[in-house]
Amino acid sequence: MPQNLNKTLRTLCEDIQESDIGKKFTFKGWVMHYRDHGGLIFIDLRDYSGILQIVFDENIDKESFKIAKKLKNEYVVSITGTVRKRPQGTENTGLKTGSIEIISESVDVLNTCEVLPFQIDEENDVNEFTRLKYRYLDLRSKRLKENLIFRSNFTYLIRDFLNNKGFFDIETPFLTKSTPEGSRDFLVPSRLNEGHFFALPQSPQLFKQILMVSGFERYYQIVRCFRDEDLRSDRQPEFTQLDMEMSFVETEDIISITEDLFALIFNKLLNIKLEKPFKVLDYDEAMDKYGSDKPDTRFELLINNLTDTFTNSALNVFKDNIQKGGVIKAICLPNGSNLLSRKDIDELLNIVKDFGAKGLAWTKVGENGLLEGGIAKFISDDEREKTVARLGAKNGDIIFYQSDSKKTAESVLGRLRLHLAKTYGLIPEGRFDILWVVNFPLFEYSEEEKKIVSVHHPFTSPAEKDLNKLENNPLSVKSDSYDLVLNGEEIGGGSIRIHDTKLQGKIFEILSISPEEAKAKFGFLLDALSFGAPPHGGIAFGVDRILMLLKNENSIREVIAFPKTQKAYCPLTDAPSVVKDIQLRELGIKLRETAGKNLKSE
Amino acid sequence: MPQNLNKTLRTLCEDIQESDIGKKFTFKGWVMHYRDHGGLIFIDLRDYSGILQIVFDENIDKESFKIAKKLKNEYVVSITGTVRKRPQGTENTGLKTGSIEIISESVDVLNTCEVLPFQIDEENDVNEFTRLKYRYLDLRSKRLKENLIFRSNFTYLIRDFLNNKGFFDIETPFLTKSTPEGSRDFLVPSRLNEGHFFALPQSPQLFKQILMVSGFERYYQIVRCFRDEDLRSDRQPEFTQLDMEMSFVETEDIISITEDLFALIFNKLLNIKLEKPFKVLDYDEAMDKYGSDKPDTRFELLINNLTDTFTNSALNVFKDNIQKGGVIKAICLPNGSNLLSRKDIDELLNIVKDFGAKGLAWTKVGENGLLEGGIAKFISDDEREKTVARLGAKNGDIIFYQSDSKKTAESVLGRLRLHLAKTYGLIPEGRFDILWVVNFPLFEYSEEEKKIVSVHHPFTSPAEKDLNKLENNPLSVKSDSYDLVLNGEEIGGGSIRIHDTKLQGKIFEILSISPEEAKAKFGFLLDALSFGAPPHGGIAFGVDRILMLLKNENSIREVIAFPKTQKAYCPLTDAPSVVKDIQLRELGIKLRETAGKNLKSE
């Protein structure tokens, strides 16, 4: 709760209670909801604690009333007056100070305000570019103010918890080295070292591992990270991460401290009791049932495997796909026949094509478990019975099928599942489902690069039980890693790291990274590992995303004080901007002779 | 105090006490001080809590002993054993666990260690480049470990204090706009907006003022800032600032909360009681007596004004200087005649020339206040008596004189004062002198730019009492600003800001900044001020510098986990470094055809 810095000079609006009736105070803040009722003028005075009604009465103080006549919304004023009870019937129960008001005895205008481009607290009508351009007005809205105060409480609570657990807050550099992989690095030309560049960190990963080698054992940082991505989804070029690393720990230790932390956050900030331990899903199970490594478990609509049912399908596309090693998987939308028109079903076809599907087979479920429409006529009685039983399908449901490779079928149905849930309101409001996904594969084969790549990063430790498979079947090796998922969004992830240089060398070999390349990329970490590195592991959380979810916002921009647009532009400050040639000359760089694309338009 | 994350697996070294004698525990950490005494091997086991002696006894556990034979310093081990009392006479009182030891019953080597480039805790023999290259080893030293833990406690204490005072921790952008003044800005080329650049913030000044306009009233942040300076003195291209801003406050409020904060820091972290209120020095007095706006008051050696004494001096250089409006000022070094040889005095001449002096007049003080040597023969009896009286000079002292403009004389004597104090040990160890310097001039005349410039920044409010002088005598106007000085180092500074657009316009006029230029440079802040800006002010503190002073270190590099060299280079990561041309091409820039200077050498 706000405390007064300077009690002698000023009282905060929400510090006043009924017990103060008859006493005189001075308040400072902004004019809201100006109402002129003839001989009486009312305003709501807003300061950072809240709102208080002020009355200017011509019969009580002429001078105040005269000044009040000239007040406008968002003027800044200092008001001295006496607390009184509001007349019966005029109380505002929605306001903490709704039973009292201040009768003004003196008012000073501390500042005026130009005509507002939009009204405070009515920003919903305003386009986002304008809101961001006048962010200082936008931030006066109750919603954004509460979001940022929530954010401040959130990070403080985390620091308090970790400090009490013996963690050290250690700052790592922002001006650091670009790695050849760092194609999404922001670069910073060095003036003192012309022709050389720093990179802004995508994460403090290497430094936190170095800190473990240094013996700090329990590190955390709430730290800005940078990634120069094409901002298709809801991302920002700079984002905030809660970064943790611990020595002499195993997965269970990291999971346990994370659960304690999130239980505390939910309890203190949302008054919600999370049950511990959290649900744990195996990666394979998550992909199998939800078609996603960040499953949204707030609703059912599970994916089922029907491959064994359709081995001898009359549908050649099913049969052939199974023979090639593919799968038939399906989801069943309850009451789908009533929810979706034939046109809706046709439109779904286009949607799943965007998800990478070749097509979308479907059947409606009729009485007595009969299937109708779509591919129903190609389904035998036996197939039908098994399908209906496995999916628990009921009269009025629709079943959607995918016949494809396991990867594609699961990914398409996973995305279709989310699409249907959002479109048909299957996601319960105000519910928080938090769970772990574990046992990720260590590697995957990249079709793009035509080689084995890391699923997380090359310092992730293989699961001990799979060490013997590294040589002959690396793609079957699981990793000692874990992702935390909230309402279908990945909010954190981490792993136990490799602390053994020989094992690290083996991993680089599998990743086709030569010793020379490894030295150039990660030399200092490899060196460090050879000087007595302890077993260690850690986790990092996306602060902006977590806050967005906890505050039930649609975009991380609503929980960031000064976000950039989807085009990485700041309408408030006009950044990025052109700079003087002399600045570039000092840095030893110049612009290429290309017409600079300008993405600043709305 | 450290707490155990995973008590079932491991106990921390310093959690063991005499009451644990006879009990069995598992410890994990690093091998230190390996001593082989034949059938007995001793090591100190080090973890992040501290140190514990382990004994391997061939007669008690052969297997442990066999493994222990192969241990080396900085190997990482897991040891299980029983606590016992050390034999009488072998206790180590310097160690918290010095009365007990562990007799090993089983040991696992978790990792080995290459031959160390230098021994831990003996880094004093090692050059700093090597220390920084192997920073992970350097950070294992007791001193650096304690410095970083102190830093973590320091920032946590600040957050705790400010959080309880109702301050909000609000993050501001790192990718922001370069201002034309920002010649020391680090630039970041934008890939999505080719030809345009972000700048890394030199401070969040504009954003924190915007937050005040937004109504947040109490903001703080512990935030990284960036300045691409020539690193002559002890600076880093990235540094950490405690940044604060408040609304509806006056200088007294900011001074009061700062004093509460620093009293808490000194009390909790150093067990030192600071007296409140802190000493306050007027800027004019600081310049007059100490020749510095950040006076070191831990020792006397005050500067005295002798201008009135020497108006009719026989020395033409004195007389002419006074006639031209200059001053004669002097300091008196107690016992200087015995401390300084004639050669030392001659060498001082070269030193003060570096400070900008034309020369260095001096006299020794003999018996009965007689002056000897140097310019003594040009000083009349009357002048001598007045000089000796004013300086309180005694037999054996030396007086150093400067005849120059007020500014130069004070600056030279201020620096000479510090030089003499350091050279002749006048600064008491372990003493902390903290004080405010206030009433800075708002403007100064820049000989370089041939115009009036701001002493702080153009948003600094003039002192209310001087508003009427703005028009006709701007250089005489004082500002509403304040610097906090600790042991002669500026550790913080701030001001009340201008919240009135008309007054801000007037200031720009005096600074010869046209409305167009002002709009281009600070447009968004000026806009914001016109939409109901509250009166506000703030302060910012240099975290690295404060920690250096509190930990009695000579360089801020000793309190930063991963600092850069004086040439802004990181020997650990080899940053900055050359990048691939394709990375530059994506950013729309290329290198100029100049031979890149390489400053990486030691």
Name residue A556's amino acid. Answer: I
Across the interface, do A210 and B135 touch by the CB < 8 Å criterion? yes
Contacts 24+ apart (CB under 8 A), A63-66: A63/A106, A64/A104, A64/A105, A64/A106, A64/A107, A65/A39, A65/A41
Find the DSSP H helices in B392-462.
406-423
Chain A residue numbers with beta carbons less than 8 Å from the beta carbon of B231 are 192
Using CA atoms, how far residue B235 sits from A587, B138, B545, B548, B554, in Å, is: 20, 20, 9, 12, 12
pLDDT of residue A243: 98
Report, as an integer, the average pLDDT of B237-258.
96
* HEC readout, A538-570: EEEEEHHHHHHHHCCCCCHHHHCCCCCCCCCCE
Find the DSSP H helices in B56-191.
62-69, 128-133, 135-138, 142-164
Q: Give how far the C-alpha of residue B263 lies from the chain's centroid of Cα atoms, to the nearest Å.
A: 18
What is the residue whose two structure tokens read 């666990």?
A: B97
Across the interface, do A171 and B560 touch by the CB < 8 Å criterion? yes
Which range among A320-334, B78-92, B577-591 shows the weakest confidence by mean pLDDT? B577-591
- Output the DSSP codes for A285-352: HHHHHHSSSS---SS----EE-TTTTTT-S-HHHHHHHHTT-EEEEEEETTHHHH--HHHHHHHHHHH
Banded model confidence at residue A595, pLDDT cuts 50, 70, 90: very low
Interface test with A, best of B192, B243, B501 (most A CBs within 10 A): B192
pLDDT of residue A601: 44
pLDDT of residue B123: 59
Chain A residue numbers with beta carbons less than 8 Å from the beta carbon of B137 are 214, 531
pLDDT of residue A602: 39
The answer to whether the bond into B277 is cis (omega within 30° of 0) is yes
pLDDT of residue A7: 46
Chain B residue numbers with beta carbons less than 8 Å from the beta carbon of A216 are 48, 139, 145, 148
Name residue B359's amino acid. Answer: G
Q: Which residues pair with A536 in a beta bridge?
A: A247
Across the interface, do A152 and B160 touch by the CB < 8 Å criterion? no
Which range among A574-583, B33-42, B221-230, B588-597 shows the weakest confidence by mean pLDDT? B588-597
pLDDT of residue A181: 62
Q: Are strands B304-305 and B168-169 parallel, antiparallel or unpaired?
A: unpaired
3-state secondary structure of B336: helix
Chain B residue numbers with beta carbons less than 8 Å from the beta carbon of A573 are 173, 176-177, 206, 524
Closest residue to B194, CB basis, from A28, A256, A597: A597
pLDDT of residue A9: 65
Q: Is the ipTM of this complex over 0.90?
A: yes
- Helices then strands, each counted (H, E), chain A: 16, 23
Report, as an integer, the average pLDDT of A296-313.
97
Which domains does chain B possess?
Answer: 13-111 (2.40.50.140), 145-281+435-559 (3.30.930.10), 299-427 (3.30.1360.30)
Chain B residue numbers with beta carbons less than 8 Å from the beta carbon of A145 are 214-216
Could you give the strand order of the β-sheet that contains B536-542, starting from the edge strand earlier in sequence?
A: B168-169, B218-226, B238-247, B536-542, B489-496, B481-486, B434-438, B279-282
Across the interface, do A561 and B253 touch by the CB < 8 Å criterion? no
Banded model confidence at residue B2, pLDDT cuts 50, 70, 90: very low
Chain A residue numbers with beta carbons less than 8 Å from the beta carbon of B268 are none
A576 touches chain B (CB under 8 A): yes
Across the interface, do A200 and B185 touch by the CB < 8 Å criterion? no
**Which pLDDT tens digit goes with each residue over B258-310?**
999 999 999 999 999 999 999 999 999 999 999 999 999 999 999 999 999 99
Which range among A412-421, A508-517, A518-527, B217-226 shows the weakest confidence by mean pLDDT? A518-527
Chain A residue numbers with beta carbons less than 8 Å from the beta carbon of B28 are 248, 534
Q: How many CB atoms lie within 10 A of CB B262?
A: 22
3-state secondary structure of B65: helix
Question: What is the C-alpha to C-alpha distance for residues A324 and B64, in angstroms, rounded to an integer?
Answer: 57
**Which pLDDT tens digit goes with each residue over B437-460?**
999 999 999 988 899 999 998 999
**Which pLDDT tens digit goes with each residue over A360-384?**
999 999 999 999 999 999 999 999 9
Q: Which residues pair with A107 in a beta bridge?
A: A79
Q: Give how far the C-alpha of residue B185 lies from the chain's centroid of Cα atoms, to the nearest Å.
A: 21
Q: What are phi and psi of A111, to 5 degrees?
A: -165, 155
Q: How many CB atoms lie within 10 A of CB A319?
A: 16
Size of interface A-B (CB pairs under 8 A): 426
B240 vs A599, more confident: B240
Across the interface, do A76 and B207 touch by the CB < 8 Å criterion? no
Find the DSSP H helices in B220-282.
251-270
**Which pLDDT tens digit goes with each residue over A77-130?**
999 999 999 999 999 998 999 999 999 999 999 999 999 999 988 656 789 999
What is the residue whose two structure tokens read 């990482």?
A: B76
**Which pLDDT tens digit goes with each residue over A213-267?**
999 999 999 999 999 987 777 889 999 999 999 999 999 999 999 999 999 999 9
A75 touches chain B (CB under 8 A): yes
Q: Which residues contact A445 (CB under 8 A, 6 or more apart)?
A: A451, A452, A453, A475
Interface test with B, best of A248, A502, A569 (most B CBs within 10 A): A248
Question: What is the C-alpha to C-alpha distance for residues B296 and B431, in angstroms, rounded to an integer?
Answer: 11
- How does DSSP classify residue B478? B
A235 touches chain B (CB under 8 A): no
pLDDT over threshold 60, residue B598? no
Closest approach of A207 to chain B, Cα-based (Å): 9
pLDDT over threshold 50, residue B150? yes
Name residue B568's amino acid. Answer: A
pLDDT of residue B89: 93
A8 touches chain B (CB under 8 A): no
**Where does A377-448 show beta strands of DSSP type E?**
398-404, 434-438, 443-446
pTM over 0.90: yes
What is the residue whose two structure tokens read 């030192």?
A: B272
A199 touches chain B (CB under 8 A): yes
Question: What is the C-alpha to C-alpha distance for residues B563 and A173, in angstroms, rounded to an integer?
Answer: 8
B456 touches chain A (CB under 8 A): no
